[in-house]
Amino acid sequence: MKKQLNIKTLAKGMRVQDKAKLLFADRHKLAETSGRERLLSPDEEKALIEDAQDLHQISELNRLNRLFNIASFLLLDGQTAYLHFVIAIGKLDMLLTGITLTGSLGDVVDHMTYDLAVQGYTSKQLEEEKIQKEIDQKAIELRKKYGVGDKLVDVYDYFSPSLRAESYFSEKTKTESEPSQPLQKFFMLAIKRVKDFRKQVCQGDYVVEKARMELLSDKEKESLKSFKKEMDKFVGLKGIYRQVKLYGAFADKELIRTTNLSEPRFLKAVKDMEKAVRLTDQEKDKAKAEIDELLEKQNYS
């Protein structure tokens, strides 16, 4: 026969932290079951509160309760930050996919266009600059004739402005173009969302430190871990994001413009993602100060 604990009896002389754990576990159960189930009966909850009053633990219990409420709101903020990250990364994924597809298609069409344009010329003629310019012009006319190189294709390019109209014969270093501006924008926005999430985690850890006890349920902690795991794929530039590393190589070889970018920190971020998403000591201090300020306001309310 399963023995049931008598909370009303156990409550007598119980440490305030243990009372708080039971009360918070009850609230977690209520939240997880949308109010259908709970761990404590009304009488058991009353017994815990009354014993806390008898032992002059109410002040500390109230303090822990305030921290619990803050931790719950921070969890919601963390979930919101993660959803914002998902939206930002979705735009980046779509852009990178478009760049990959249109880039491959553009390369094929360019080769086909030049294959048509060079018809009738000898190998010797193709070495002449005058003939090369003539062929370039023919290729441009063929693109217009068949609708190749429209604005949509220009948007889905690795560079801004697009380099797809460059001469087939050109050897000049591409120092006028920068990494795709839309890509820079979505990439840096995703980084900001990661940092927003890390700020919420930092504040949550600080609240737990103040409480000197766990405040989130195991399920809630697991959800935060899963969010972090998804973000780590982006931070590690894995999968589809690996191609973004190319910009770092282009910059090192001085093949693209590295100054006056639409997002000035883009190239530094690509080269050191861990640093790009890391909270600075000042940012951590500010995040903790926000919690201290909130607690101080609650004490005076």
Are 106 and 48 found together in one domain? no
- 204 within 8 A of 78, measured Cβ to Cβ: yes
Torsion of CA 113, 118, 123, 129, to 10 degrees: -90
Are 49 and 106 found together in one domain? no
Distances (CA, A) of 181 to 162, 178, 186, 191, 243: 11, 8, 9, 15, 15
Instruction: Give bridge partners of residue 69 from the DSSP assignment.
Output: none
Please, what is the Cα angle at 123 between 119 and 127, to 5 degrees?
110
Is position 299 within any domain? no
Is position 136 within any domain? yes
Is position 188 within any domain? no
Q: How many domains does the chain fold into? A: 2
Is position 38 within any domain? yes
Is position 84 within any domain? no
Is position 189 within any domain? no
Is position 32 within any domain? yes
Beta strands in 145-255 (DSSP E): 159-160, 178-179
Are 115 and 49 found together in one domain? no
Burial of 228 from C-beta contacts in 10 A (0-12 / 13-18 / 19+): middle
Domain that holds residue 129: 98-174
Q: Please tell me the predicted confidence (pLDDT) of residue 235.
A: 97
Are 50 and 102 found together in one domain? no
Mutual angle of helices 181-211 and 58-117, in 10-degree steps = 160
Report the 10 Å Cβ neighbour count for 209. Answer: 11
pLDDT digits (tens, 9 = 90+) for 99-108: 877 654 455 4
- The list of the chain residues with pLDDT below 70 reads 1-8, 11, 102-116, 142-155, 163-175, 300-301
Is position 288 within any domain? no
